[in-house]
Amino acid sequence: MIDLSFLSNKLAWLAVIPVLGVLVFWHELGHFLAALWMKVKVEEFGFGYPPRMATLFERKGIKFTLNWLPLGGFVRMVGEETGFDTEGSLTSKKPYQRAIVLLAGPLMNLILAPILYAVVFSSGVPYPLGKVEITTVVAGSPAEQAGILAGDQIVMVGDVRPTTTDAVRETIVQYRGRLMPIIVQRGDQTYSLSLTPRTVEETPTDQGAAGVGIQRALVTASGFGQAVTMGIQRSGEVVIMMITGLGELLRNVIAPAPDAPPMGGVAGPVGIARITGELARQGLLPLIELTAFLSLNFFIINLLPLPALDGGRLVFVLLEAIRRGKRIPPEREALVHLVGMMGLLALMLVISYFDLAAWWSGAPLFPAQ
């Protein structure tokens, strides 16, 4: 494993440049390839962001350029901002063709994540299975009396097939003082057992009601094929987690609960740079895992129905399909996206201000610290 611990505290945040560079470039590559497939006229494929440093070469009317800001790349297609009536422009294509071009970028981010996770898992990093494993059994506890052993994997507890430790704990609490069936897997054998979790009064202060320690079962990939499968599973878990978190965020914005904790977890470029720097000092694998996580974040964020994002542009494609080919004038759509981009940039500036303020004040990087 490559050691990145030589990065100093002052320079580690620069690791955000290759991380975001890979993600944005991969995203734009998806748009580029889909545009060629749909025969959309592409004017420029840029490595990095303007101002332009040099034109590397030109092929079939497409300029491949090198730009000064090393944060990914961009694709300039005819019909995005000007040339709406030009033959081969994006706006001249059918709705399904435009949708393919717009979806290609986020989908590339979705494809990249499991590949990166597979690299991490194939390097020996364990992956938590959707099972709960018993790590310790306290002597004299209900679990020991029931015949449960450390290393057993819980198949069923009560009437629940648990995939998280919280599910096991909640079920045990519900069964305090009464008989609880439990099915465990021990090697190749499955055992149906039962125990009675202790009541609050019966439970020692340093133990739980059943007298066991639990964790999610871990597995190490035996080959790259299994690592890919684990990478796909992990990507699915992260996507569900992100969508759930986004839903909770929107619900708290629309109708905040009186006792809801303050919202957090929103970071701009500065916050991402701090997180990237911290993980870069820990080594290459944590940095790759963060890149996979951010790639899924790119996938979801870009599909939000907001102006200037791919999801916002897809809304106009959907409206055209619903209206049976009657589309909103491209000039008006471009204006909406321009205003949306200005709004997003303003939001990024505000978030970056708070990120910088937290950095300068020495606030912990992660709220739990």
Q: What pLDDT does 80 receive?
A: 80
Residue 262: predicted pLDDT:
47
Check whether 6 has a pLDDT greater than 70.
Answer: no
Residue 87 among the catalytic residues = no
| % residues pLDDT > 90 (the chain) | 47
Which of the pair, 353 or 137, is modelled with greater confidence?
A: 137
pLDDT for 211: 93
Domains, the chain, ordered by start: 12-41+78-120+268-360 (no CATH), 127-219 (2.30.42.10)
If DSSP states are collapsed to H, E and C, what string results for the chain?
CCCCCCCCCCCHHHHHHHHHHHHHHHHHHHHHHHHHHCCCCEEEEEEEEEEEEEEEEEECCEEEEEEEEEEEEEEEECCCCCCCCCCCCHHHCCHHHHHHHHHHHHHHHHHHHHHHHHHHHHCCCCEEEEEEEEEEECCCCHHHHCCCCCCCEEEEECCECCCCHHHHHHHHHHCCCCCEEEEEEECCEEEEEEECCCCCCCCCCCCCCCCEEEEEEEECCCCHHHHHHHHHHHHHHHHHHHHHHHHHHHHHHHCCCCCCCCCCCCCCHHHHHHHHHHHHHHCHHHHHHHHHHHHHHHHHHHCCCCCCCHHHHHHHHHHHHHCCCCCCCHHHHHHHHHHHHHHHHHHHHHHHHHHHHHHHCCCCCCCCC
pLDDT at residue 213 above 50? Answer: yes
Residue in 28, 44, 289, 333 annotated catalytic: 28
**Average pLDDT value for residue range 309-327:** 88
As a whole number, mean pLDDT of residues 67-91 equals 84
Provide the pLDDT confidence category of residue 32 given band limits of 50, 70 and 90. very high
Q: For residues 251-257, give the mean pLDDT.
A: 70
State the pLDDT confidence band at 365, using cuts at 50, 70 and 90: low
pLDDT class for 268, splitting at 50, 70, 90? low
Average per-residue pLDDT in the chain?
85
Q: Mean pLDDT, to the nearest integer, of 192-221?
A: 91
pLDDT at 175 over 70: yes
- Structure confidence at residue 263 (pLDDT): 46
Whether 368 shows a pLDDT value over 50: the answer reads no
Among the residue ranges 25-39, 159-173, 208-222, 354-368, the one predicted with the least confidence is 354-368
